[in-house]
Amino acid sequence: MRSLPTTLRALGEAETLRRLVAAVASAGDEAGALRAGLACAVDALDADAGAVLRGDAVPAATGWGDAVPSAERLASLAAAGEAVVDLPGAADAITVAAPLADGHLIVVRRERLTDAHTALLRAIAAVLDGTAQMAGDLAAARTARAAAEERAGDLQRRQRLFEDLSGIQRSISHRAPLPEVLDAVVAAAEDLFGDEMPALLLADEDDPGTLRVVASRGLSPAYRESLGSRRAGEGVAGRAYAEGRLVVIEDYSDSADAMPRFRSMGVTAAMAAPVHEHGRPIGSLIVSTHRPGRRYGETERDILCSLAEHASLAVSDAKTVAAVAHQAMHDRLTGLPNGALFRDRLKHAAVRGRRFGRPVAVLFCDLDRFKTVNDSVGHAGGDELLVAIGERLRQCVRASDTAARLGGDEFAVLLEDLDHPGRPHLVAQRIVEALRQPLEVGGHELRPGVSVGVAVGIADAGELLRWADLAMYRAKGEGAGGVAVYEPAMGDAAVDRLALEADLARAVENGELEVDYQPIVELGEQRLVGFEALVRWAHPQRGRMAPGVFVPVAEETGLVRDIGRHVLRSACAQAAQWRRRHPDAGLDTITVNLSGRELADPRLPSDVAAALRSSGLPARCLVLEITETVLMRDTETTLDRLADLKALGVRLAVDDFGTGYSSLRYLRRFPVDILKMAKPFIDTIATDDVDTALACTILDLGANLGLQVVAEGIERDEQATVLRALGCEMGQGYHYARPLSAEAASAMLGDPPRHGVWSVRAGGA
């Protein structure tokens, strides 16, 4: 250790060293400390130049002009002790060196240095040595501390990032509304960056060249406006979107890429990361600030990218969810809302209706003859038809109403905010009219037709829908292509019908079905030639019921096959027995009625064959009656079925002839044997000339086609007289006998009529 205090005192230069220490200490780092020390030494020694040699570097030099000596040269000067050098404007200056820990402090003076100067130089070197080292250490320590602090800050920030991101992930997985999730992303950016102006921009769906702010924090209106209409490729946000990569500008005021507008608003730095959807950029997340000297480190860049990726996830997810939700709630074929969505909307409408006392209307629409149409144009044609119908339905309602496809050929319409009470009925009629217009499907012109049930009221959703459904059935019942409005009585009828269906299912096995027989008479001789079997239901509570009440129910529920087979077996067995017991009674016909559904059933011919076989009745004795409307319904299938029945040897009759719309062409093609002239003609045959003429026509037709004609519903003698006069040979009706129980009919067979009328009238329904 050198004797510093002595030297200092001797030279009176304490002040120099104090200044030196202060200068060195205030230097930020070692190089700064060496520069400050050299300046101090040059000044204190009144030198012309100086340099610091450290190892093989020259960290500080002054006064040499452009000719700073190299480290090697300085090393040789130092080694020489005192040497002579040339300085700019001063030849022959003298160098003196004082040793440093790892080099020398060298000064150059035109005049020689005294020993005191040399001592001061050494003292300065010693101080410099220590403090510069210290300053270096200090700077290093400071750097280390700052790094540690940054690490700690980083850690904290990472923790926050983790929390923010998991919050965002949670809201994505919980299907929070998209704006909410995007707002959370922007909030996280604000939280993590501390920058004043985070914003999320997404490309306009109609104009992908333009970005729009969808979430932001702290944007001034002017800033928002400039950012809001950003073009792709413009500025930091526009470039991140256009280039699909992270874009950072830290010296915003100097950067050529900066937007002058934002520069003038005082933006100092900005950074944006792209937002993607299925790998395609769709926008960007930008942070920008007014803070001077803002730098974005690696971590921060990563964080921004991560946040942008979360926004990407949210957008893609929301779109997928929206697509899936749309699919789940709409009919694939017509694109109309489906049953689930309809019920949901109806539920809400019904709740609102109840709260505000405003009625809601439901229209239940069921296509007429869709099955037939579908059969004629094929499955693809049927689909095409449904799409076209969906489109027409949509055009019949306002945008605020809901037209939906419930499934199959059922559609429904929900009307809210009824401005006048007649609107539901009006819309229903408009729908009927729209679907009555022809539609072109696969080269066919189709007129689908629809029946509409209307329910209007303040009630719950299920009730409204049920009412509309009941009304629709009423509309169908009143003839296709109509509108019916729900009335409470329809509800009672529906309940009644449900009970009836349940009872009917057990009626056959409980033996509740009975068959009555109405005589068919040869009009001229007034001779009994046959019976028509007519079914009745002896209901344990409701009493005896006519077929008009329960046969339609049996038709719809499919129970009619069981009932039909029962009647067929009973009638065949009964007729066979009568023929055995009364071989001379001339009974050669038993007539059984068939419904449309029975005729459509391919098992019918084998059922008939089985009944004939088991009874032993000759097939020619059995007549099967099919009403005119059923016969004309599905002519091609009917023709095949009739041919199969005829092949068994049975005879066929057209029931209620004259009430439907028989095509004469078909009548010729059908292998029928008998026409049963419907009761309405007979009712007025003796009083109305037109009906008499019509009856005449039917009789002529029968004669021309070689068909027997049987008049139905003869109630009075004069009707029988006119019919006979017109040449009608056969008839049945209350005038001769009502439908009779099997016992009563048996009795009649053994008991010829008195005055043309059988005395037995029991059992008639």
Contacts with ligand C2E, residue ranges (CB under 6 A): 518, 534-535, 546-548, 551, 564, 567, 593-595, 625, 655-656, 712-715, 732-734, 739, 765
Instruction: Give the contacts of 583 (CB within 8 A, at least 6 positions apart).
Output: none
- Rg over CA atoms, the chain: 54
C-alpha 674/C-alpha 624 separation (Å) is 10
Structure tokens at 685: 């045959």
The item of Mg ion, ligand C2E, none sharing an interface with residue 300, based on CB under 5 to 8 Å by kind, is: none
Based on the shown chain and the rule CB under 5 A, indicate whether residue 655 belongs to the binding site for Mg ion.
Answer: yes
Residue from 656, 730, 736, 748 in contact with Mg ion (CB under 5 A): 656
CB of 549 to ligand C2E, least distance (A): 9
Sheet of 269-277, strands arranged across: 230-231, 210-216, 199-203, 280-289, 269-277, 247-249
The item of ligand C2E, Mg ion, none sharing an interface with residue 374, based on CB under 5 to 8 Å by kind, is: none
The piece of 115-123, 144-152, 570-578, 656-664 that touches Mg ion (CB under 5 A) is 656-664
In the shown chain, the binding pattern of residues 386 to 405 toward Mg ion, with x for contact by CB under 5 A and - for none, equals --------------------
Structure tokens at 379: 């499955």
CB of 620 to ligand C2E, least distance (A): 20
Residue 241 or residue 657: which is nearer to Mg ion going by CB? 657
C-alpha 467/C-alpha 474 separation (Å) is 11
Note whether 504 and 553 are within 8 A (CB).
yes
Residue 255 is given by DSSP the state -
Any bridge partners for residue 212, and if so which? Answer: 202
C-alpha 49/C-alpha 59 separation (Å) is 14
The item of ligand C2E, Mg ion, none sharing an interface with residue 734, based on CB under 5 to 8 Å by kind, is: ligand C2E
Residue 238 or residue 733: which is nearer to Mg ion going by CB? 733
> Terminal CA-to-CA distance of the chain, rounded, Å?
143
**φ/ψ (deg, to 5) at 525:** -85, -10
CA distances from 79 to 73, 99, 111, 130 (A): 10, 10, 20, 22
User: What's the half-sphere exposure (Cβ side, CA atoms, 13 Å) at 198?
Assistant: 20
CB of 655 to Mg ion, least distance (A): 4
Looking only at the bridges linking them, the beta strands covering 444-446 and 269-277 are unpaired
Based on the shown chain and the rule CB under 5 A, indicate whether residue 628 belongs to the binding site for Mg ion.
Answer: no
SS3 state at 363 = strand
Residue 409 or residue 625: which is nearer to Mg ion going by CB? 625
C-alpha 573/C-alpha 584 separation (Å) is 18
Any bridge partners for residue 450, and if so which? Answer: 367
The angle at the Cα of 491, spanning 489 to 497, to the nearest 5 degrees, equals: 105
CB of 381 to ligand C2E, least distance (A): 32
Place of tokens 């040789």: 76
Any bridge partners for residue 536, and if so which? Answer: 514
CB of 551 to Mg ion, least distance (A): 11
C-alpha 644/C-alpha 362 separation (Å) is 46
The item of Mg ion, ligand C2E, none sharing an interface with residue 401, based on CB under 5 to 8 Å by kind, is: none
SS3 state at 426 = helix
The item of Mg ion, ligand C2E, none sharing an interface with residue 507, based on CB under 5 to 8 Å by kind, is: none
CB of 547 to ligand C2E, least distance (A): 4
Residue 394 or residue 761: which is nearer to ligand C2E going by CB? 761
The item of ligand C2E, Mg ion, none sharing an interface with residue 713, based on CB under 5 to 8 Å by kind, is: ligand C2E
Nearest to 474 by CA among 457, 497, 506, 458: 497
Residue 302 or residue 555: which is nearer to ligand C2E going by CB? 555
CB of 597 to ligand C2E, least distance (A): 9
The item of ligand C2E, Mg ion, none sharing an interface with residue 739, based on CB under 5 to 8 Å by kind, is: ligand C2E
User: What's the half-sphere exposure (Cβ side, CA atoms, 13 Å) at 517?
Assistant: 29
Based on the shown chain and the rule CB under 5 A, indicate whether residue 746 belongs to the binding site for Mg ion.
Answer: no
CB of 455 to Mg ion, least distance (A): 36
User: What's the half-sphere exposure (Cβ side, CA atoms, 13 Å) at 223?
Assistant: 21
Residue 43 or residue 555: which is nearer to ligand C2E going by CB? 555
Structure tokens at 331: 């009919």
CB of 532 to Mg ion, least distance (A): 6
CB of 538 to ligand C2E, least distance (A): 14
Residue 464 or residue 711: which is nearer to ligand C2E going by CB? 711
CB of 749 to ligand C2E, least distance (A): 19
Residue from 338, 589, 593, 662 in contact with Mg ion (CB under 5 A): 593
The item of ligand C2E, Mg ion, none sharing an interface with residue 551, based on CB under 5 to 8 Å by kind, is: ligand C2E
The item of Mg ion, ligand C2E, none sharing an interface with residue 191, based on CB under 5 to 8 Å by kind, is: none
Looking only at the bridges linking them, the beta strands covering 199-203 and 210-216 are antiparallel
Residue 719 is given by DSSP the state H
- For Mg ion (CB under 5 A), the number of binding residues is 5
Residues 686-715 touching Mg ion, rule: CB under 5 A, are 712
Nearest to 168 by CA among 306, 325, 321, 320: 306
Residue 418 or residue 765: which is nearer to ligand C2E going by CB? 765
The item of ligand C2E, Mg ion, none sharing an interface with residue 594, based on CB under 5 to 8 Å by kind, is: ligand C2E
Residue 119 or residue 568: which is nearer to ligand C2E going by CB? 568
Residue 381 or residue 547: which is nearer to ligand C2E going by CB? 547
CB of 674 to ligand C2E, least distance (A): 12
Structure tokens at 390: 């969906």
Residue 375 or residue 555: which is nearer to ligand C2E going by CB? 555
Place of tokens 């050198």: 2
C-alpha 196/C-alpha 684 separation (Å) is 98
Q: DSSP labels for 636-663?
A: HHHHHHHHHHHHHT-EEEEEEETSS---
Q: Locate the DSSP E strands across 65-160.
A: 82-87, 90-100, 103-109
C-alpha 501/C-alpha 551 separation (Å) is 11
Note whether 702 and 696 are within 8 A (CB).
no
The piece of 69-77, 101-109, 403-411, 587-595 that touches Mg ion (CB under 5 A) is 587-595
SS3 state at 199 = strand
Place of tokens 């009674």: 585
Residue 214 or residue 534: which is nearer to ligand C2E going by CB? 534
Would you tell me how many other CB atoms lie within 10 Å of the CB of residue 677? 27
The item of ligand C2E, Mg ion, none sharing an interface with residue 715, based on CB under 5 to 8 Å by kind, is: ligand C2E
Looking only at the bridges linking them, the beta strands covering 280-289 and 513-522 are unpaired
The item of Mg ion, ligand C2E, none sharing an interface with residue 538, based on CB under 5 to 8 Å by kind, is: none
Residue 363 or residue 682: which is nearer to Mg ion going by CB? 682
CB of 651 to ligand C2E, least distance (A): 15
Residue 117 or residue 735: which is nearer to Mg ion going by CB? 735
CB of 576 to ligand C2E, least distance (A): 18
The item of ligand C2E, Mg ion, none sharing an interface with residue 666, based on CB under 5 to 8 Å by kind, is: none
Residue from 625, 628, 673, 729 in contact with Mg ion (CB under 5 A): 625
Residue 259 or residue 714: which is nearer to ligand C2E going by CB? 714
Residue 469 or residue 712: which is nearer to Mg ion going by CB? 712
CB of 690 to ligand C2E, least distance (A): 21
CB of 660 to ligand C2E, least distance (A): 13
Please report, as ranges, the residues that interact with Mg ion according to CB under 5 A.
Answer: 593, 625, 655-656, 712
